[in-house]
Structure 1
Amino acid sequence: MPTSPGATRRPYLIAVLALLASLFAVVQPAGPAAAAVDGMTVDMSTYGGTPTYRASGFIYGLGQNGSTPAASLQSQIKATELRAGGSQIGCPAGGYVNGSDTARWNAEKAYYARAKTTGAHLEMILAGLWGADGVCTVPRWPGDGGNWSEYTAFVSQVIADVKAAGMTGSDVRWDLWNEPNIFFWGASQAQYLEMVRRGTLQIRAALPGAVIEGPSCACNPADAWFTTYLDYVKANGVVPDILSWHALPGDPAVDAANARSALAARGMSVAGLDVNEYGAYGAEQQPGPSAWYIARLERGNADGARANWGMVGATPSLYDTMGWLVTANANQPMGQWWVYERYAEQTGQRTKITPGGNAAHDGIVFQDAAIHKSIGIYGATPSAATGQVGVTYTNIPSWLQKSSTIHVRVERMPSTNAYVAAPTVVSEGRVAFTGDTLTVNLDWTNNLDAYAVILTA
């Protein structure tokens, strides 16, 4: 029996209506039956500051010759910082203190060459060049027994090497030691501080424009070890250009505020802050926590470099995975790489966002009037509540609107230690709203996932 035109169209109309209903379910405010577990608010009338991509750095993560992973994987995320010192090369007797520093210096030069080609700066860890990397044997520490001649000769050698390699510009930061408050330093804090004084004065005498960073401790600016460091460098005229520490785990926004308070209390100033290792191995290096760390670094106006534990893959290596952004050996993007890729796509002006309760959910949002687009990236801590999380956009500008509608694309960056070809599109379509306010509800069932919300006119 032939069907009528209306009967033919009916299944199609039902499918369209179902699709629209599902889209509106994503972006409309949560009702009583689906109460949100948390929420964030984006005020699009308050903005300022162009992108710096300051959170896109990592420690080691490239091959020793700097050729892998592919440079495109690094340039697409606009990595701003590479941090390395030749660690673990030549163990158990590697590094200057063991009379075996050539291979480590060659790796340092390779990282610098890669940094230059991809627009990043290099942070040079002198501890690694010395041989203190947590793996190799360290027979002596700088200043042991009050003898500083070996350390002075070591710094002179590094200065000569950087001059010969053309590495004397501001695109190289001198990191005098890595995590000197734990086992990477085998002497007293007083001996470490004397090393800082001597090394800083020697470097600045030879290279007045050198950028020195420190203390790069496994601590935070509220710790007694850190404040002792600040008091010493001020009293001895060796304040670093960049103040640094690690968050493993930690909250860069809180730590940055504490650092600035500590500096202000002492009448000190620095050119910048750098959380030059962040994200503890495991859950914190998945998409959700990665996006959260980006948001907190941006909120604290601090640079950042992902930690690298060299503990992944069939043959674990410090010289692979870009800080666990790509798969081991195969070097393919994982979910967290896509977080940084979307971060790298943000243009325009940084926009005000109020984080969720206890800052368990946070994000970084940019809006660009020139291209009628806003990209927001949202993350969570590993312990954040799961469920519906509302992101409310207020004061939506007229250039993002068309007849009181806006195009909304919601993407999920999944938590998986495997190749992810692209983010998962959760929903996409035009959405009607009133009063210049729109709530996008994210069904956050796994707090290790991250989300991107892309608004276009």
Structure 2
Amino acid sequence: MWRRVGRLLAVPVLLMVVVVVPASPALAAVDTMTVDMTAYGGTPTYRASGFIYGTSTNGASPSQSLQSQIKVKVMRAGGSQIGCPNGGYVNGGYTARWNFLKAYYARARSTGAAFSLLFSGVWGADGVCNVPRWPGDGGNWTEYTTFVNRIIADARAAGMTGSDVRWDLWNEPNIFFWGRTQSQYLEMIRRGTQLVRAAIPGAVIEGPSYAGVPSPSNSWWNTYLDYVRANNVVPNIISWHDLPGDPAADAAALSGMLSSRGISISGTSVNEYGAFGDEQQPGPSAWYIARLERCNCDGARANWGMVGQTPSLYDTFGWLVTANANQPMGQWWVYKRYADQSGQRTKITAGSSHDGTVFQDSSARRSIAVLGARVGASQGAVDLRYTGIPSWLVGNGSVNVLVERMPSTNAYVSAPTVVSNSRLTVSGGAITVPINWTNLKDAYAVTLTP
């Protein structure tokens, strides 16, 4: 809920405008975003900063500093691809995957991130390994019960029983990660949820981690929601994958589906977002961050790496840093500027294909906006309009505007590119910052200071 305050800004006449770095020639405007600085509320959670896999199997690289600087809040893994083609519990390869999970959890805990423990990866259902048996085959649930109880026992021994662990019982059960019927999957979820909750009171269950978005016209989703409600196994956090998608629109659709069934949950998570390629570039990454902030959804970047290839599944934080060398790329800087945001989340009205996240901090006397474009956006100039600029941001009738570009490149980027650093006259409490968005894969940050 936004909190509105009255504007207390007097607007003196500007005597001087100092342009440090000239902006590019203006292009025809194709989109507009508007920031209302009188409407704000809520401190940063950095909830969109997360990834699936992305570190080495021993949890040592990329460096902890690179992770801490972007304030990662969600890490998700299950040991996928380790020991393939015959890896995972179902192939007698449980220990190697569990050892990885302990290292991954230690890394998550050391940086304050929640850890999503992915059962399907531990089992061996990772899309690469052979899966000779699936839980419940032939109506026999003995092996699955033994499997879940072993994870529970090992999690207890490792101290992995707190609210920072999310029990994600299967990945993408509507496609090849689950090789049986939906009814067999649902029975597995019922049994697994009951086992975990009985052994670990307060355990945070996450699911279904569906490969696609929630929709009232989707029969799989309707069957799932009806079943978990009827069997009292509703997860604490409902999750899905946007590859592609729009988290804000998808969360709104889910809300209606839950409301019609009287289902309450504690949160939502888009625990894989951003398809490899165009979507895992700075501009679309910043757009996804903005959409996740809009729906108050947690987010984890998808990871399309394969063991033995570049990038690897166990590298790059989900394509934020360079493979092997582990140096920041343009998209890492998007998350760094997101992590730099402080103060109060501020209302921004999205454009037709551009969106952003804005915070204002009266103590630090600054406001940072992180702006992105969805794949397929129109190319050209985008206007960022600020209204209701508070008096503490204004000096001598003007405000300093730093515009930075996070470039689209799969190579090392030492810092964002300074596009302009200039003073703009505040008129009626408002300014307009034009951005010549010549590459839709780029993202921008705009920092206002007195």
- The TM tier, using the shorter chain, reads over 0.9
Unpaired runs of at least 5, structure 1 = 1-16
Choose which of 337, 341, 347 in structure 2 pairs with 1:346: 341
Q: Secondary structure at the match of 1:20?
A: coil
1:312–1:430 Cα change, 3 Å: farther
User: For residues 421 and 25 of structure 1, what CA distance do their matches in structure 2 show?
Assistant: 22
Q: Which residue of 2 aligns with 1:10?
A: none
Choose which of 219, 224, 231 in structure 1 pairs with 2:219: 224
Choose which of 403, 408, 413 in structure 2 pairs with 1:415: 408
1:368 counterpart = 2:358: no
Q: Secondary structure at the match of 1:55?
A: coil
Offset, 1:146: 0.4
Moved more, 188-197 or 305-314: 305-314
Q: How many residues were matched structurally?
A: 433
Offset, 1:265: 0.8
Q: Which residue of 1 aligns with 2:19?
A: 20
Tell me the C-alpha RMSD between the 2 structures.
1.6
Structure with the higher fraction of residues in helix conformation: 1
Describe how 1:110-259 pairs up with structure 2 within 5 A.
Answer: 110-222=103-215, 223-259=218-254
Equivalent pair of 2:23/2:419 in contact (CA under 8 Å): no
Equivalent pair of 1:174/1:212 in contact (CA under 8 Å): yes
1:397–1:24 Cα change, 3 Å: farther
Q: Secondary structure at the match of 2:29?
A: coil
User: For residues 174 and 225 of structure 2, what CA distance do their matches in structure 1 show?
Assistant: 14
- Alignment-mate amino acid for residue 329 of structure 1: N
Offset, 1:24: 7.7
Q: Equivalent pairs: percent with the same residue?
A: 68
4+ aligned runs moved over 2 Å, structure 1? 17-26, 311-316
Equivalent pair of 1:411/1:424 in contact (CA under 8 Å): yes
1:387 counterpart = 2:386: no
Write the deviation string for residues 127-167 of structure 1: whole angstroms up to 9, x where unpaired. 00001000000000000110000000000100100011010
Equivalent pair of 1:221/1:227 in contact (CA under 8 Å): no
User: For residues 227 and 327 of structure 1, what CA distance do their matches in structure 2 show?
Assistant: 41
TM-score by length of 2: 0.94
Q: Which residue of 2 aligns with 1:336?
A: 331
Q: Which residue of 2 aligns with 1:323?
A: 318
Offset, 1:229: 0.7
Choose which of 364, 371, 386 in structure 2 pairs with 1:378: 371
TM-score by length of 1: 0.92
Offset, 1:170: 0.6
Offset, 1:345: 0.4
- Alignment-mate amino acid for residue 337 of structure 1: W
User: For residues 366 and 437 of structure 1, what CA distance do their matches in structure 2 show?
Assistant: 16
Write the deviation string for residues 306-335 of structure 1: whole angstroms up to 9, x where unpaired. 000005996442100000000000000000
Q: Secondary structure at the match of 1:276?
A: strand
Offset, 1:430: 2.0
Q: Secondary structure at the match of 1:426?
A: strand
Larger Rg: 1
User: For residues 164 and 430 of structure 2, what CA distance do their matches in structure 1 show?
Assistant: 43
1:238–1:101 Cα change, 3 Å: same
Equivalent pair of 1:220/1:226 in contact (CA under 8 Å): no
1:272 counterpart = 2:244: no
Q: Secondary structure at the match of 2:19?
A: helix
Q: Which residue of 1 aligns with 2:69?
A: 76
Equivalent pair of 2:405/2:444 in contact (CA under 8 Å): yes
User: For residues 66 and 301 of structure 2, what CA distance do their matches in structure 1 show?
Assistant: 15
User: For residues 374 and 340 of structure 2, what CA distance do their matches in structure 1 show?
Assistant: 23
Write the deviation string for residues 111-134 of structure 1: whole angstroms up to 9, x where unpaired. 000011111010000000001000
User: For residues 222 and 390 of structure 2, what CA distance do their matches in structure 1 show?
Assistant: 45
User: For residues 116 and 199 of structure 1, what CA distance do their matches in structure 2 show?
Assistant: 24
User: For residues 137 and 391 of structure 1, what CA distance do their matches in structure 2 show?
Assistant: 51
Q: Which has the higher contact order (CA 8 A, sep 6+)?
A: 2
Q: Which residue of 1 aligns with 2:99?
A: 106
Offset, 1:22: 6.9
- Alignment-mate amino acid for residue 319 of structure 1: Y
Equivalent pair of 2:424/2:431 in contact (CA under 8 Å): no
User: For residues 120 and 21 of structure 1, what CA distance do their matches in structure 2 show?
Assistant: 39
Offset, 1:288: 0.1
